[in-house]
Homo-oligomer: A and B are copies of this chain.
Amino acid sequence: MRTPIELKYSHRLINHGPTTLVTAAAGGATNVMAVAWVMPLDFDPPRIVAVLSESYTRELIDASGELAINVPPRSMLEATYSVGTTSGRGRDKLALHGLGTSPAGVIGAPLVDGCVAWLECRVIPEPRMREGYDLYVADVVAAWVDDSVFQDGCYQFRGDETRTIHHMARGTFFVTGPHVDLK
């Protein structure tokens, strides 16, 4: 079940470098793109930084000032890769890839069903970073986890299909592996 978590723990949803699906909505249109280059930027205030190449989804992010970071599990690996190789301009890319969505809590961008964690973000306008490097900085304004996968402040994967994924290159991925606790 999708459960909210405190923002101060939100960096943990992507601290291990998973590949994500980024969704955006503006003017009645929605779209999704695959984003591997995204990471936490700060704990307090909770912030992320992402490299967003020119795309239809980026246009919707620029128009709305909002984006959602969705963390897909192994069971959505094929869909994630497929999303990353097609454009949604002029068609319903989410439906095209069989991705259902649910309303977010705070922002207008939808959250992708079946993911295991979600970050709702508001862009901090940084035109020079955007123009020079395709870099976007955003505040995390809400965060959610699938409480069957993320418990007690950490991913607790049960079964391979719920594990997060890490893109390497051109359709080659790694699945998040065993947990090691030094505490």
Residues of A within 8 A of B (CB): 9, 11-12, 15-18, 36-42, 47, 49, 51, 74, 77-78, 81, 128-129, 133-135, 137, 153-155, 160, 163, 165-183
Q: How far is the CA of A7 from the CA of B109 in the complex (A)?
A: 36
A137 partner, pick from B16, B37, B133, B168, beta carbons under 8 A: B133
The listed residue with most B CB atoms (<10 A of its CB), out of A18, A49, A167, is A49
Q: How far is the CA of A39 from the CA of B48 in the complex (A)?
A: 12
Nearest B residue (CB) for A171: B182
Nearest B residue (CB) for A40: B37
A172 touches B182 (CB 8 A): yes
A178 touches B169 (CB 8 A): no
